[in-house]
A and B are shown apart, each in its own frame.
Chain A
């Protein structure tokens, strides 16, 4: 960027914008704490907003990691290891055909739990999750998760609600894909569906 390189004086507007941006990013980063107990985003998030004692034991079983963008958190068909919770950043959820064609289901945002269905039923992951941004991700092992859910009833209820929502989304998708039959709309659908 030539504009930035030419800056010599403080107070130049390019310089300012860059500094402010850096400041904001660092503030945002510091807001995402390594401990769930002090996380500021928690009240807004469906899964994270749990009672204090549940939160404490959840904090003990989770591990927080930063991943660069385009990391694949888990791939379709792989044995399940556990669940991932996006603290910040977005992830692309997609499914794949035998011939390697890919269909994007949706983009998951911060606060979403990924891989929950597979973890509960102990079946291979049914989708692929790939990070779109540099993200902080919480990982919980399946074994620890099951124990945690058995002990904390409220969270279990929340999980059931979350899964129903996922299912609703999936049925909605089946409807949009399955109902288009004639050739011409099919082409339109293809460009929408981000077939890679």
Chain B
């Protein structure tokens, strides 16, 4: 079957196999059926913008497949990437619920399948299904948690090196490689994007990477990064 952007689109939430593992999607049958009625399954190419910071909220975007970059922007055009959203996450949630403008910009990193629900429909859906409401609350608190972590790393770190070390450790822990002595991670972002994640410049990131390689702390093989000296990286992350 021919599908847009080579994606395997799952049209119906009822038939989705991934549902059980996802916080928001794992709804009771009645709620799922009414969610199915209000949602639109859409697909986007790489680099599409789902919504822009400051826009009036239209509704929520449930990420089914692919990854989405969430960033905030300053008035003079500098960008800070807050996180890379993974499948199962609900985007634009707090703005939709509170009616305030979107506080982030969401841009797809890969071709994505996204389920869109209009704001009025979503609010009605929440009023009718208290289970879904709790799920939403859970998602929101998770996002709050991430935001707090971001504030901590941005506001309380001394140097860019410290922040980069923290970021690399965090990524290596995510892929289930945390237990290994030499964890391996795939660098999906460019130096520019990494710089935007830790609030520094592209040049600094390149310099820091070169420094880490020179000191044999990390080793690069194409886009894969091997952490050779985890203890040294940890020491970098907590230097006062």
Contacts and interface: CB of A to CB of B under 8 A. Distances in A.
A173 B151 contact: yes
> Which of B94, B104, B134 has the most chain A CB atoms closer than 10 A to its own CB?
B94
B167 interface: no
Contacts, number: 135
Given A98-B238, A126-B145, A160 B97 contact: yes
Nearest to A119: B141
A3 interface: no
Contacts of A160: 97, 126, 133, 136-137, 140
Contacts of A153: 127, 130, 133
Interface string A142-169: 0000100110010011011101111110
B17 interface: no
Given A126-B148, A153-B127, A164-B140, 12 more contacts: A95-B152, A117-B145, A126-B145, A146-B134, A149-B134, A156-B133, A163-B144, A164-B98, A167-B144, A173-B147, A174-B154, A177-B155
Given A101-B156, A174-B150, A174-B154, A116 B141 contact: yes
A6 to B, nearest CB: 50
A97 B157 contact: yes
B141 A164 contact: no
20 contacts: A96-B156, A105-B148, A117-B141, A120-B141, A121-B141, A123-B145, A146-B134, A149-B130, A149-B134, A160-B126, A161-B97, A165-B98, A167-B140, A170-B147, A171-B104, A174-B72, A174-B82, A174-B147, A175-B74, A179-B80
Contacts of B145: 117-118, 121, 123, 126
Interface string B179-212: 0000000000000000000011100000000000
B148 A95 contact: yes
Contacts of B200: 181
A140 B200 CA distance: 42
Nearest to A180: B199
B93 interface: yes
B6 interface: no
B143 A167 contact: yes
A53 to B, nearest CB: 15
A103 interface: yes
Contact of A150 (B72, B74, B127, B134): B134
Contacts of B214: none
Chain B interface category by residue count? 35 or more
Question: Which 3 A-B pairs have CB atoms at the shortest separation, nearest pair first?
Answer: A117-B141, A164-B94, A97-B156
Contacts of B98: 161, 164-165, 168
Nearest to A118: B141
B147 A120 contact: no
Nearest to B201: A181
Contacts of A149: 130, 134, 137
Interface in A110-149: 116-118, 120-121, 123, 126-127, 146, 149
B151 A170 contact: yes
Contacts of B152: 95-97, 103
B213 interface: no
B78 interface: yes
A120 B151 contact: no
A99 B240 CA distance: 6
A178 interface: yes
Given A97-B156, A101-B156, A170 B144 contact: yes
B169 to A, nearest CB: 12
Given A95-B156, A179-B80, A174 B151 contact: yes
